[in-house]
Structures are given as C-alpha cells and as structure tokens.
Amino acid sequence: MSDTESFFGDPDPIFADKELLRVSHLPEGDRIIGRDEEFTNLANAIKDAQRGGTPNNVLIYGKTGTGKSLCSKYITQDLTEAAAENDVRVDVAYIDCFQDSTETQAVRTIAESFNEPDVTGVKVPASGVSTSDYYRRLWKILDVRLDVGIIILDEIDKLEDDNVLMQLSRAAEAGKVEDSTLGIIGISNKIRYKETLNERVKSSLSERDFVFPPYDANQLRAILNSRADAFREGVLDDDVIPKVAALAAKEHGDARKAIDILRYSGEIADEHDDDRVRVEYVDEAHEREEEARLAELIGKQPEHSKYLLQGLALQMQQSTDTDAMIPSKQVYSAYEVVCVNAKEPIRSKSVASATSSPNLRFSR
Ligand SMILES: Nc1ncnc2c1ncn2[C@@H]1O[C@H](COP(=O)(O)OP(=O)(O)OP(=O)(O)O)[C@@H](O)[C@H]1O
Ligand SMILES: [Mg+2]
C-alpha cells in the first residue's frame, strides 16, 4: 500500500455536519420548531426557581418523537442561565429511568450529577453505599451547592417503584433539605402512567400536566429544513425533505423518525457513491429506519420475551403461508427449542400467558 492511500477516503461528499442529525444533538433554541406554547407552559410551571423558589412538579406526556426530552432539557438549561443572572444557583440532573430503574441507581445518579466534590466535600461512590446513605449524600450536596435542584426523570414509567418519587417530592416538607429546594419533571409516553402511582405521590408529582401533540407534515418539514445544513450545499434534492416529512407525519408525527430517515437517505446516497441525495433513496431509508427501530425495541425487551419472539420468527420462516395462523402451542415449542439452545431454563407460566390466545396470526 502506498504512503498516501487512506482507508478513510476523501472528506465526506454528502454530509457537512452529520451530528446535526443525531438524536443526541441538542439544537439551539431557534432550531426548535412549533413548541412555543409548550415552552411557555413549562416556563410558567417552573419559573419560581429563577428566584430561588420551589418550582411546580411537572409531568409531560406525548407520543414518541414529539420533543418531550428536547424541550425539557432546553427549558431547564434556559432556566439555569436566567437564575444565574439573579445569583440563584440552579442545576439540572437528567436521569434516563430506563438505565437507572431501581431506587438506588436513580438516587445515586442524581447525587452524582449534582455533585462537585471540591465544593461539597462529598463523594458519591459507584457502589458499596446503602440507598439511605446515597439519599443523605444527595441532601447534603443540594444544601451545600444549590438553591434549586431540578431533576428530569425521563421515561419515568420505567422506574421499578415509587420510592424515589416519594422521597424526592417530600424532601423539603420532610426537612431533608433546608437551604435548597427541588423540582421534578417526569416524562412518559404512557398517558395512563399517573394512574399507576399511589395517591400521595400522584398529587405532589403532577402539579402541572402537559401533553405534547404529534407534529404535522408542515412542522416536520420545518424541523428538517432547519437541519438541512447537516448536508453539503446543493447535495440534497428539493423533494427529499417534503417526502420524508410526509412519511413521518403519516406515522404518528414523530420528529425522531423524520430525522433518522433523512440521515439514512444521506448514508444510502454515500453507499451508492452518488453525490446527490435523491428522492428514490427515501423509501430504502424508511425501511432501514423501521428495522433499526424494531431492533432497538426488541433489544429493550426482557430476555425471555426475546426468546419467544425468536421462536415466533422461526415458525414464520418455516411457514409458506404469507398470512399464517400459528397455534400458540407451536410457538411455545419453538420457544422451548430457543431456550435449550441458549442453555436457559424454560419459563412456563409467564410465557404461556403471553401466548394465551389459541392461535396467533401473522402476516408477512
Ligand atoms: N420541535 C422540534 N424542533 C426541532 N427538533 C425537534 C423538535 N422536536 C423533536 N426534535 C428532534 O427530534 C428527535 C426526537 O425528539 P425527543 O427525543 O425530544 O422526543 P421525545 O418526545 O422525547 O420521544 P421519546 O418519547 O421517544 O423519548 C430529537 O433529535 C429532537 O432533537
Ligand atoms: Mg424522550
């Protein structure tokens, strides 16, 4: 191989800044489209924190990709900056409850994200500390370092129980914190989440409830247009964004889906060595997005649900019928085979109840 040859090729011919099309990217305020009313409502709910007062606790609902996480992060960052101008110390802890679903994990991550060990003199070890000790450390960190701690509990319905919500929502009233106060923003796409809470937690947690509606095609188009500079100038054909927006609007007005399909369209153009992102790549990008979404969804399932699905898939593969009726007994047998291959004990009751209907119909 010659000295000048590189496996990484020339600069990206399609993307100028692909990061703009990543879900983790937090856009600037002027790139957040169609959420003025939601921002105003959220700001009103938490504005007391700007002067060191206790913000209202908030629950935000809405389907996937409606900007719940984005708007919560943006508004709390804005609040932190506005408070700093009043010499009020506000900080935000963002917790993904899917990752930190137990009480101990959640309180530890909250304490760690608020902590600045040089200021507080408190350590938050990764393990070896009891849950109540993590709480004690959290209360101390809050009192020493902050006037207001805002805790965003994203995917709040994934918490294993209400204990952490009970503790956090009662911290000030129970005298756990004296020189600081707390606000909680809970986010869920399960509209009935509140019904699962005990009365005490419910009333303190949902002082304000907001529902984020899905985006329509025009809003999705504006969201995508505001990120079109992710692409090099002139590579994006004019009809690509309208087509992606229309597809995503048809399927629940999901901005994440729209952004992912646009990114995949660019990647597919690159794979074809094309220097233009053409509208004909959008359908393939759509399929790729659906596969990735499904893989993510399955990946989040408990192990035995995955085995059951695998059993089902095997049965489907063996069937020549495109609209197959597969007896659940047969699915269960396939599940048993998958378990044996994976050297896992076979579950009976939970799996049997998951396949309680006598026949399952699947279409290809
Ligand atoms: N109004 C908007 N303007 C610009 N970008 C947006 C807007 N709403 C959402 N997005 C983008 O769409 C993607 C999904 O948004 P977000 O993660 O906030 O959705 P969500 O409602 O939290 O979804 P989920 O319930 O699946 O977690 C992110 O990349 C986000 O930056
Ligand atoms: Mg989210």
Residues 292 and 307 occupy one common structural domain: no
Mean pLDDT, all residues of the chain = 91
Residues 193 and 134 occupy one common structural domain: yes
Q: CATH no. for residue 235?
A: 1.10.8.60
Residues 207 and 222 occupy one common structural domain: no
The pocket around ligand 1, CB under 6 angstroms, is made up of 23, 27, 31-35, 62, 64-70, 189, 223, 255-256, 259
Domain assignment present for residue 289? The answer is yes
Sequence letter at residue 195: E
Domain assignment present for residue 27? The answer is no
Domain assignment present for residue 16? The answer is no
Question: pTM for the whole thing?
Answer: 0.86
For the ranges 22-26, 44-48, 78-82, the lowest mean pLDDT is seen at 22-26
Domain boundary among 266, 299, 332: 299
Domain assignment present for residue 249? The answer is yes
Overall number of domains in the chain: 3
- How far apart, in whole angstroms, are the C-alpha atoms of residue 92 and residue 151? 6
Residues 43 and 181 occupy one common structural domain: yes
Domain assignment present for residue 114? The answer is yes
**Residues 235-245: what's their mean pLDDT?**
97
Residues 87 and 208 occupy one common structural domain: yes
Domain range for 235: 215-299
How remote is the CA of residue 155 from the centroid of ligand 1, in Å? Answer: 14
- Whole-number pLDDT of residue 151: 98
Residues 208 and 67 occupy one common structural domain: yes
Nearest atom in ligand 1 to the alpha carbon of residue 212 is 21
Residues 159 and 250 occupy one common structural domain: no
Residues 67 and 105 occupy one common structural domain: yes
- Whole-number pLDDT of residue 360: 59
Q: What is the DSSP string of 25-93?
A: ----GGG--S-HHHHHHHHHHHGGGGGT-PPPPEEEEE-TTSSHHHHHHHHHHHHHHHHHHTT--EEEE
- How far apart, in whole angstroms, are the C-alpha atoms of residue 78 and residue 65? 21
Domain assignment present for residue 89? The answer is yes
Residues 169 and 285 occupy one common structural domain: no
Question: Which residue's CA is minimally distant from atom 18 of ligand 1?
Answer: 67
Other CB atoms closer than 10 Å to residue 356's CB: what's the count? Answer: 7
> What is the tens place of the pLDDT at every residue in 272-302?
999 999 999 999 999 999 999 899 888 888 8
> What is the tens place of the pLDDT at every residue in 133-176?
999 999 999 999 999 999 999 999 999 999 999 999 989 888 99
Listed residue (183, 158, 163, 172) closest to 58, CA to CA: 183
For the ranges 56-60, 227-231, 342-346, 354-358, the lowest mean pLDDT is seen at 354-358
Residues 181 and 273 occupy one common structural domain: no
Domain boundary among 251, 276, 299: 299
Per-residue burial over 52-65, b if 16 or more Cβ lie within 10 Å, else e, is beebbbbbbbbbeb
- How far apart, in whole angstroms, are the C-alpha atoms of residue 206 and residue 193? 11
Domain assignment present for residue 156? The answer is yes
Q: Residue 285: what are its φ and ψ, rounded to 5°? A: -65, -40
Domain boundary among 212, 246, 264: 212
CA 100 remoteness from chain centre: 13
Residues 242 and 343 occupy one common structural domain: no
Other CB atoms closer than 10 Å to residue 331's CB: what's the count? Answer: 23
Domain assignment present for residue 2? The answer is no
How remote is the CA of residue 210 from the centroid of ligand 2, in Å? Answer: 14
Residues 97 and 155 occupy one common structural domain: yes
Asked if pLDDT for residue 351 goes beyond 70, the answer is: no
Ligand 1: which of 31, 39, 256 to mutate, judged by most atoms within 8 Å of the beta carbon?
A: 256
Do 206 and 196 touch, CB atoms closer than 8 A? no
